Amino acid sequence: MQKSLHIDPNKCTGCLQCEMACSYENYGAFNISKSRIKVFNFESAGRKVPYTCTQCAEAWCMHACPVDAIRIDAATGAKVVFEGTCVGCKVCTIACPFGTINYVADSGKVQKCDLCGGQPACAEACPTGAITYVESDWTGLGKMRQWAEKTDTQPRA
């Protein structure tokens, strides 16, 4: 069975250890601007929420790529950007409805979560268990819809 990241925003303290671990894993530097996971701060709600690619079953980013630079890793099921193929056109960033693919100016390519080859550094670094790597049969899109339905986004009168 495939595994995926599970994020429990109720457990996040906003420590940014996930961002630091991700940047170090992928770039060898503690630089949160290079992280493939971000912790959003919802100040009015007093919540912090880690957010990264959900590895959607539909994978609009992968289907939109004109050069086939995003492919499925057979071992993890992750949709992975092959940097050698990527031409930096950013079509995938537009196609992703969740904004989890980022253009990297230094390389002229895009980056997204690749599940660290099956050992996500963000999950290993999270001290509260807000990010875990679990067996999963859900798609990221379905989980995002469920979460969106629970979120009160209507302005108060």
Reported as a single tens digit per residue, the pLDDT across 76-114 is 999 999 999 999 999 999 999 999 999 999 999 999 999
- Model confidence band, residue 156 (pLDDT cutoffs 50, 70, 90): low
Q: How far apart are CA 62 and CA 72, in angstroms?
A: 9
Would you say 60 and 90 are in contact if contact means Cβ atoms under 8 Å apart?
Answer: no
Structure tokens given for 138: 């859900």
Would you say 126 and 17 are in contact if contact means Cβ atoms under 8 Å apart?
Answer: yes
Least confident of 40-54, 77-91, 133-147: 133-147
Domains of the chain: 3-141 (3.30.70.20)
pLDDT higher than threshold 80 for residue 1: no
pLDDT at 139: 45
Average pLDDT over residues 137-152: 59
Would you say 17 and 147 are in contact if contact means Cβ atoms under 8 Å apart?
Answer: no
Residue 119 CB neighbour total at 10 angstroms: 11
pLDDT at 13: 95
Average pLDDT over residues 50-58: 91
